[in-house]
Amino acid sequence: MTKRFARRALPMLLAATGLTACVPASQYENLQSAYRDLQSKYSADEATIQMLDNRLKVTMSDRVLFPSGGYEINETARRTLTKMVPTLQGLQNSRVIVEGYTDNAAVGPELRRQGIASNIDLASRRADTVADTLVRGGVPRAIVSADGRGDANPIASNTTPAGRAQNRRIEVTIAGPGN
């Protein structure tokens, strides 16, 4: 087998065996760089930043971004969110997935008057608000998506005020192509 043939055959062999599903080293290095960059921009009170299965996840409490029971952000929350924009702009081949979560408490009458009938609706509005803020800050619209999860996937018990507070969150996940 010639070297030229071997160079062409190896990618075909890897594709046939499914071994190309691994994350390329450059993508992993980009996520590691983004992780370090975001760690330097956010305090522990603002966000938790984790590397998970070749994804980078930024979790923000709703109290950092939204008024109690609300979905609109103020200028302080906008500045907090836009700290991540330069990092996200550098990840053109990635996907930015914004997910909104709530606790399991029923939506109040004020929100219902605004057309928000459920926790899914509230979580969706919050996720949309965050995604729009990132896009307005300069993150390409093509790489950003938003999804409201409501009270699905709690990270703490909804039986205590502290647990409910943990469940009210926004998660911004940065994933590479194919993840």
Domains in the chain with CATH codes: 23-175 (3.30.1330.60)
Coil, strand or helix at 59: strand
Alpha-carbon span 164 to 21, nearest angstrom: 37
From the number of C-beta atoms within 10 Å of its C-beta (0-12, 13-18, 19+), residue 2 rates as exposed
Which residues partner with 102 through β-bridges? none
Alpha-carbon span 45 to 67, nearest angstrom: 16
> What pLDDT was estimated at residue 20?
41
Mind listing the pLDDT tens digit for each residue in 134-147?
A: 999 999 999 999 99
Mind listing the pLDDT tens digit for each residue in 52-108?
A: 888 999 999 888 898 878 899 999 999 999 999 999 998 878 999 999 999 999 999
Mind listing the pLDDT tens digit for each residue in 8-62?
A: 443 443 344 343 445 556 667 888 889 999 999 999 889 999 998 889 999 998 8
> What pLDDT was estimated at residue 65?
92
| Verdict on whether the full-model pTM lies above 0.75 | yes
Give the list of residues 6+ apart from residue 162 with CB closer than 8 angstroms, or none. Answer: 156
